[in-house]
Amino acid sequence: MFQFIAQKSTIARLKALVATSKTALYLAASLSVFSCQETSPVHPDGAQSPTSTVARNQARLASPAALKKYRLIQWGEQTLTYYPDGRIKRSLFGPDVAGNDHYRQSYSYSAGILSPSGTVEVRYSRSVPDSRNMRETYWYNDTGHCYKYKQVVDEGVNGVHTYTSILAYNSKGQMTDCLFGSGRAHYDYNADGDLVKVTFLNAQLVPTETHTLSYTPSNGGPPVNDLYPLHSEWMEPFEHYLPYFGQPSKHLVQSVVIKRLYGQVADTNVFYSYVRNADGYVTQRKTYHKLGGAPIETKQYEYEITLINIPN
């Protein structure tokens, strides 16, 4: 993943914490995304034989028009598990098996005074001795928006450090600002509700860097709907799966231009290409620094798909 942020921020600490991992630790969790409003489980119809029921349901599952519930269980190297109510429980680099000592994130939830407000605590830990650990806490209000988050980083001999950020939203429920110790990040959107620009400002509120996002595919076609939107990798906090960070973009980002507003630093370009299944859900994403060049990252998406019962 690519977070090109010039000024120091809480995320720089997170990157340092997970430097030993194969990929940056932008870990997280989310509620299930539904392709319809029904949530009934698949079950055999009374007079149908098990064989005919399975055959009929398999045919429905293969059809793009079928009513299905998608839940992300693998995102690149991250394996995701959920509580019975659908909230994220754990995110782990690599398979969820004994002997995997990569960083894992465990999520716990507490109710607030105003329902459905509350907090989510995320603990980052490893099973190996002398590893540095981190705890993040997210506070969300009764509108479902996270308004504050805090990182507590245990750096061993270097002590324990705490970083706090404040988040703001507009009337459409979109995140507009993130204020942290060394400055702020500001977010702009287009008429479709897609994030189109991120501006980083230092403590004196002088812009230092911009990220400009485009949703137009390289072939010039129309924007492509994102059917399983995660919290953007181009926004703070870098916690992708929790659903408390406002209205996500509606379309798949196709390219990003990173412009540093200091010194003689060349712009950086990031391009994406996607593979989608018959239902339109992304199953693979490749990242490039140059169109037509070799990908610098390939991320696979795997889902748990539940067929929704369709009454005869």
Q: Is residue 49 pLDDT above 60, yes or no?
A: no
Q: Is residue 271 pLDDT above 80, yes or no?
A: yes
Q: What is the pLDDT of residues 215-240, one digit of tens each?
A: 999 889 999 999 999 999 999 998 99
Selected residue with higher pLDDT from 94 and 140: 140
Provide the token pair at 292.
Answer: 């037509």
Measure the CA–CA gap between 21 and 159, rounded to whole angstroms. 21
Domain locations along the chain: 10-307
Q: How far is CA 292 from the centre of its chain?
A: 26
What's the pLDDT at 146? 97
Please give the C-alpha separations between residue 36 and each of 271, 296, 311, in angstroms, as whole numbers.
31, 35, 15
Q: Is 88 exposed, middle or buried (0-12, 13-18, 19+ CB in 10 A)?
A: buried
Q: Is residue 62 pLDDT above 90, yes or no?
A: no
Name the phi and psi angles at 31, rounded to 5. Answer: -75, 160
CA trace torsion 78, 83, 87, 90 (10° rounding): -30
- Residue 91 confidence class, pLDDT cut points 50, 70, 90: very high
Residue 56's H or E segment, with its range, is: helix 50-62
- Residue 136 confidence class, pLDDT cut points 50, 70, 90: very high
Q: What is the pLDDT of residues 142-190, one digit of tens each?
A: 999 999 999 998 877 788 999 999 999 999 999 999 999 889 999 999 9
Measure the CA–CA gap between 249 and 194, rounded to whole angstroms. 4
Query: What is the number of alpha carbons within 13 Å of residue 6 lying toward its C-beta?
Result: 22
Closest C-alpha to 155, from 16, 11, 296, 305: 16
Question: What is residue 45's three-state secondary structure?
Answer: coil
CATH architecture, domain defined by 10-307: Beta Barrel (2.40)
Query: What is the number of alpha carbons within 13 Å of residue 54 lying toward its C-beta?
Result: 3
Contact 128, 101 (CB under 8 A): yes
Q: Is residue 18 pLDDT above 70, yes or no?
A: no
User: Model's pTM, two decimal places?
Assistant: 0.76
Cβ-proximal residues to 217 (8 Å cutoff; 6+ apart), any chain: 223, 224, 254
CA trace torsion 3, 287, 31, 66 (10° rounding): 160
Most confident of 44-48, 75-79, 254-258: 254-258
Q: Is 94 exposed, middle or buried (0-12, 13-18, 19+ CB in 10 A)?
A: middle
| 133 DSSP β-pair partners | 154
Please give the C-alpha separations between residue 82 and each of 28, 65, 144, 174, 299, in angstroms, as whole numbers.
12, 26, 19, 26, 21
